[in-house]
Amino acid sequence: MVIIVESGADEQIVEDLIGKVRSLGFKPHPIYGVEKTVIAVVGEKTQDKVEVLQTMPGVQQIIPILKPYKLVGREVKTESSVIEIADGLEIGGERFIVMAGPCAVESYDQFAEIAQYVKEAGGHVLRGGIFKPRTSPHEFQGLREEGVPIARAVKEETGLPFVTEVVDVRDIEMLHEVADIYQVGARNMQNFALLTELGKVDRPVMLKRAMSATVEDLLQAAEYVVVEGNDDVILCERGIRTFETATRNTLDISAVIALKRFSHLPVVVDPSHSSGHDWMVPSLCKAAVAAGADGLLVETHRRPQEAMVDGYQSLTPPVFEELMGELPAFCEAAGRVL
How do the pLDDT tens digits run along the chain, 338 residues long? Answer: 899 999 888 889 999 999 999 999 998 988 887 777 889 898 888 888 888 999 999 999 998 888 889 899 998 888 999 999 999 899 999 999 999 999 999 999 999 999 999 999 999 999 999 988 777 887 887 788 999 999 999 999 999 999 999 999 999 999 998 999 999 999 999 999 999 999 999 999 999 999 999 999 999 999 999 999 999 999 999 999 999 999 999 999 999 999 999 999 999 999 999 999 999 999 999 999 999 999 999 999 999 999 998 899 999 999 999 999 999 999 999 999 99
Q: Are 164 and 210 in a shared domain?
A: yes
Coil vs helix vs strand at 36:
coil
Residue 142 lies in a domain: yes
Q: Are 190 and 88 in a shared domain?
A: yes
Residue 189 lies in a domain: yes
Question: What's the CATH number where 295 sits?
Answer: 3.20.20.70
Question: What's the CATH number where 26 sits?
Answer: 3.30.70.1140
Q: Are 148 and 15 in a shared domain?
A: no
- Determine the pLDDT at residue 8: 82
Residues 6+ apart with CB under 8 A from 183: 127, 163, 164, 165, 166, 205, 206, 208, 236
- Domain span holding position 260: 83-333
Q: Are 327 and 192 in a shared domain?
A: yes
Q: Are 175 and 34 in a shared domain?
A: no
Half-sphere exposure for 229 (CA within 13 Å, toward CB): 5
Residue 311 lies in a domain: yes
Q: Are 39 and 128 in a shared domain?
A: no
Residue 239 near residue 274, CB atoms below 8 Å? yes
Question: What DSSP assignment string belongs to 11-24?
Answer: HHHHHHHHHHHHHT
Q: Are 167 and 307 in a shared domain?
A: yes
- Determine the pLDDT at residue 66: 80
Q: Are 45 and 87 in a shared domain?
A: no
Q: Are 307 and 197 in a shared domain?
A: yes
Q: Are 137 and 264 in a shared domain?
A: yes
Q: At what angle are helices 11-23 and 47-54 packed, to 10 degrees?
A: 160
The rounded distance, in Å, linking the Cα atoms of 301 and 282 is: 15
The rounded distance, in Å, linking the Cα atoms of 155 and 101 is: 12
- Determine the pLDDT at residue 1: 87
- Determine the pLDDT at residue 125: 98
Coil vs helix vs strand at 323:
helix
Q: Are 56 and 124 in a shared domain?
A: no
Residue 70 lies in a domain: no
Residue 55 lies in a domain: yes
Residue 6 lies in a domain: yes
Count of residues in the chain: 338
> Residue 190: which of 234, 227, 221 has the closest Cα?
221
Q: Are 129 and 41 in a shared domain?
A: no
Residue 338 lies in a domain: no
Q: How many domains does the chain have?
A: 2
Residue 231 lies in a domain: yes
